[in-house]
Amino acid sequence: MPIVVDIDVMLARRKMSVGELAERVGITPANLAVLKNGRAKAVRFTTLAALCEALRCQPGDLLRWEPEPDPDAPEDPVAVTARDAPAGP
């Protein structure tokens, strides 16, 4: 999924447990784990705001976008180039 959730990073920075954050935000630890592990399909702005308030951070500290890998692109362009190069002098 191109949206990556970095709640675990902020939890570590704040030295806070999942249970404590869930209690402060008002959601169950199970629902927080779904969000933290990137399995959530959506997040309400009210929940995001509560997470930011509890962790004293900005939404961008919790969420980031990463492009999806191109299935047609080679895995490692350097390895492909070396493999396809002619052998010997």
The pLDDT tens digits for 46-71 are 999 999 999 999 999 999 999 988 88
Helix axes 29-36, 18-25, angle to 10 degrees: 110
Cα–Cα distance between 32 and 80 in angstroms, integer? 41
Strand spans (E) along the chain: 3-5, 63-65
pTM of structure: 0.75
Assess contact for 5 and 63: CB atoms under 8 A.
Answer: yes
Query: 4 is written with which tokens?
Result: 């990556």
Within 10 angstroms of residue 60's Cβ, the number of other Cβ atoms is 10
Mean pLDDT, residues 76-81 taken together = 60
